[in-house]
């Protein structure tokens, strides 16, 4: 609460400024309590000159050295006390004068990151988990530099990053980083990072209010390898959302590059050249895969009208049996490398929370084997893409049948459920994104019947 007004102090400008700041903080806290905010991050590529890139490399190298020095001291048995260890920064500056050329907030961030790593270590020890003591950061990795937003200057599309040093002892000028996109408004922190190909990025963290949850219909999705997600609604509408389709082509290119590199002498000119090409191709594949996952999760969380999303709680390790690893080498690669199930579920989780939808996980055991019409169980190997029930004669795509079973299991918790007749359109995905294609589910069943008869 605001302090009682003092008539003697009211005439002083500094007291009025203090009251204004305190009132503003109280107002912001009141606004934050009314709505729930989610912390998001936007990653933007930077265009830097060679001098600015060298300055970033110098600063991250010194921060990494300070971090590794403390990790080795902790390994030798020194106790971690955050306040006491942070006060030793002046001694480190005296020992290594080049630390004076590093921005002070970056050096302070090193101690905060160490404190977070040690807190996580003690938490894992207390819970009986694998301790995982903080590790030494390698030289080839980039030590992320975190800048508070209040100390940065944004001039159009140019981000000014401060450096250390004062007066004639200042060695590096401020870094001028040109942004390829517009940053979000009201960002609080900026993290500078670098990928394996030498590209620099700025990650802007900002807050966005979550939408209020509303009641609505339910859609259930079955996650698969050939089709990323197949969904069924209570009204019978069917969604087919495909994932990234170019994994097989990229895998062939990567295998070919790996085979050529394996025949070269290590650290030779051709070996280094093929390593750069391999990184470029693998990054392109990874970017396209993540882009397709973002589009699919955004479609489910933002564009679909259903307010409750049900996803099968499928473990990747259950799909890959250890006793048949040699036989399922193609399946192993699809599940662990190309599918991206864990990343897709993580994206879907926070996007549903952001847009006010409820996400539920349900055990999908035997959903592919069970008939959605009569409940009959029969074996369904992966090569069989059409479900044909031997009891009631139901013919349906195996993913659609599994989605129907997931939906009925979820709705059975709430009360009696009458299955609707599927008579709606289908969402299909291409390599460039997800598009809507008007087709009839009844016509699709007829095509499956003709295919089975042929």
d(CA 308, CA 410): 11
Q: Which run of H or E residues covers position 55?
A: helix 50-75
User: How far, in whole angstroms, is CA 72 from its chain's centroid?
Assistant: 31
Burial class (CB in 10 A: 0-12, 13-18, 19+), 317: exposed
Q: What pLDDT is recorded for position 7?
A: 45
Using DSSP's 3-state secondary structure scheme, residue 175 falls into strand
Return the closest-CA partner of residue 436 out of 338, 245, 295: 295
d(CA 344, CA 241): 12
CB atoms under 10 Å from CB of 406, counted, come to 26
CB atoms under 10 Å from CB of 58, counted, come to 16
d(CA 84, CA 447): 73
d(CA 43, CA 199): 12
What contacts 139, CB < 8 A, 6 or more positions away? 64
Q: Indicate if the alpha-carbon torsion angle 444, 450, 453, 454 is positive or negative.
A: negative
Q: Indicate if the alpha-carbon torsion angle 107, 108, 111, 113 is positive or negative.
A: negative
What contacts 246, CB < 8 A, 6 or more positions away? 285, 288, 431
Return the closest-CA partner of residue 373 out of 389, 349, 361, 357: 389
Q: What pLDDT is recorded for position 368?
A: 86
d(CA 408, CA 414): 10
Return the closest-CA partner of residue 234 out of 320, 181, 304: 304
CB atoms under 10 Å from CB of 224, counted, come to 22
Per-block average pLDDT, block size 10, for the chain (454 residues)?
44 49 44 65 94 95 95 92 93 93 94 94 92 92 93 92 88 94 92 91 93 88 86 90 87 94 94 94 92 93 91 63 54 68 89 92 85 87 85 87 90 65 43 41 35 35
- For residues 263 and 401, the answer to whether their CB atoms sit within 8 Å is no
Q: What pLDDT is recorded for position 389?
A: 87
d(CA 205, CA 184): 8
pTM here is 0.75
Where do the domains of the chain lie?
39-209, 218-453
Q: What pLDDT is recorded for position 428?
A: 44
- With DSSP H G I counted as helix, E B as strand and the rest as coil, what are the percentages for the chain, rounded to 5? 45, 20, 35
């Amino acid at each position: 609460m605001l302090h009682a007004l003092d008539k003697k102090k009211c005439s002083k400008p500094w007291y009025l400024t203090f009251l204004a700041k305190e009132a503003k903080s109280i107002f912001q806290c009141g606004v934050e309590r009314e709505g729930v905010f989610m912390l998001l991050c936007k990653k933007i590529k930077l265009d830097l000159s060679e001098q600015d890139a060298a300055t970033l490399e110098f600063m991250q190298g010194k921060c990494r050295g300070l971090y590794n020095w403390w990790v080795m001291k902790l390994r030798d048995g020194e106790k971690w006390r955050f306040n006491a260890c942070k006060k030793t920064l002046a001694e480190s500056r005296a020992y290594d004068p080049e630390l004076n050329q590093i921005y002070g907030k970056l050096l302070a961030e090193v101690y905060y990151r160490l404190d977070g790593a040690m807190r996580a270590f003690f938490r894992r020890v207390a819970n009986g988990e694998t301790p995982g003591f903080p590790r030494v950061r390698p030289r080839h990795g980039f030590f992320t530099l975190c800048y508070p937003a209040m100390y940065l200057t944004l001039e159009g599309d140019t981000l000014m990053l401060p450096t250390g040093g004062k007066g004639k002892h200042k060695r590096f000028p401020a870094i001028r980083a040109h942004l390829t996109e517009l940053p979000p408004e009201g960002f609080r922190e900026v993290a500078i990072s670098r990928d394996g190909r030498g590209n620099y990025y700025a990650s802007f963290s900002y807050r966005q209010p979550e939408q209020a949850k509303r009641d609505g219909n339910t859609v259930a999705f079955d996650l698969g390898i050939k089709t990323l997600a197949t969904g069924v609604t209570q009204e019978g509408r069917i969604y087919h959302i495909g994932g990234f389709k170019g994994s097989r082509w990229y895998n062939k290119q990567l295998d070919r590059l790996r085979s050529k590199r394996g025949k070269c002498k290590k650290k030779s000119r051709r070996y280094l050249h093929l390593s750069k090409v391999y990184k470029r191709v693998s990054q392109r594949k990874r970017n396209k895969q993540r882009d397709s996952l973002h589009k699919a999760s955004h479609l489910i969380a933002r564009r679909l009208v259903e307010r409750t999303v049900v996803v099968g709680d499928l473990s990747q390790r259950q799909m890959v049996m250890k006793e048949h690893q040699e036989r399922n080498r193609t399946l192993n690669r699809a599940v662990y490398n190309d599918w991206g199930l864990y990343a897709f579920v993580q994206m879907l989780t926070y996007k549903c929370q952001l847009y006010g939808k409820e996400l539920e996980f349900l055990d999908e055991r035997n959903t592919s084997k069970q008939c959605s019409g009569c409940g009959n169980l029969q074996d369904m190997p992966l090569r069989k893409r059409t479900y044909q029930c031997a009891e009631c004669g139901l013919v349906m795509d195996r993913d659609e049948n599994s989605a129907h079973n997931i939906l009925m299991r979820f709705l059975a918790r709430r009360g009696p459920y009458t299955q609707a007749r599927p008579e709606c359109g289908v969402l299909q995905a291409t390599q460039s994104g997800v598009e809507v294609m008007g087709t009839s589910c009844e016509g699709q069943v007829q095509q499956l019947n003709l295919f089975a008869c042929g």
